[in-house]
Amino acid sequence: MTDVIRLALEEDLGAGDVTSRACVPESLQAGGRFIARESLIVAGLALLQELYEAPVILKRDGDACADGDVIATVTGRARTLLERERVALNFLQRLSGVATMARRFADAVAGTGCRVLDTRKTTPGLRALEKAAAAAGGVTNHRMGLFDAVLIKNNHIAAAGGVRNAIERARASGLPIEVEVRTREELREALDAGAAHLLLDNLTPAEAAQWVREIGGRAKVELSGGITLENVRAYAETGADFVSSGAITHSARAMDISFRLELE
């Protein structure tokens, strides 16, 4: 059992499920169905393997579910099924919310040639799960953390003494390097220093299109800041290679999934 599942169960169960112990015979066997109650993209199904013995999983992460679709079935002691119901639903609802939001972003930019990236704006402790859900929804995972790629932002530039200094020092890491530029001067300095991946933050689509034309393919371009479902296509149509949005993870709502207990 992974740490995140163990911690979630400990948090919910504490000394035990007093309601189920009081109301449900210890030996009673039962089954249960996880059912979508709205249209959604499902994610997090592998966690059911850790919560239940031999669950029957009827969908795959990334599958579209309609209202009423059965996602998975489980069997076992009724008490156990009830004890784990809320934890299972919390994960499925949250991760399916991320996957559903990701699919909406991916669909919004279809045909533009621009890819949507997720961000590190995730629930503490759940990043790997939420990024897997985002990928299942159809967007591209960006950095998993501070350890797997260099992203030079304004505070790094200030601390390093300028864009060129930051880029040259970062090359020693051997990792991919992306640098944020906020002014035309920083843009020229980054390009002169050989930056291969630029981050343009908080521009309007019209401004972003101008900057992309000026860059002229000399570097990959990512746009970020204020990108929503309503405007993401306008940003994607600027010619940028990537758009990133924290909303995929930090603003995804939990989807409506229910659990129905059935006595054998």
Write down the catalytic residue from 120, 153, 169, 182. Answer: 153
Write down the catalytic residue from 121, 127, 182, 220. Answer: 121
Whether residue 73 contacts residue 55, with contact meaning beta carbons closer than 8 Å, is answered with: yes
Residues in the chain: 264
Cα–Cα distance between 264 and 262 in angstroms, integer? 6
> Does residue 169 carry a catalytic annotation?
no
Write down the catalytic residue from 12, 50, 63, 201. Answer: 201
Whether residue 200 contacts residue 221, with contact meaning beta carbons closer than 8 Å, is answered with: yes
Exposure string of 46-67, with b = 16+ CB inside 10 Å and e = fewer, is ebbebbbeebebbbebbbebee
Strands ordered across the beta sheet of 115-117: 115-117, 242-244, 220-224, 197-201, 177-181, 150-152
> Does residue 180 carry a catalytic annotation?
yes
Whether residue 109 contacts residue 232, with contact meaning beta carbons closer than 8 Å, is answered with: yes
Write down the catalytic residue from 33, 37, 77, 86. Answer: 86
> Does residue 67 carry a catalytic annotation?
no
> Does residue 222 carry a catalytic annotation?
no
| Angle (CA) 100 103 105, round 5° | 115
> Does residue 143 carry a catalytic annotation?
no
Cα–Cα distance between 117 and 242 in angstroms, integer? 7
Write down the catalytic residue from 180, 186, 222, 241. Answer: 180
Helices 205-215 and 184-192: crossing angle in degrees, nearest 10, is 30
- Kindly list the catalytic residues: 86, 121, 153, 180, 201
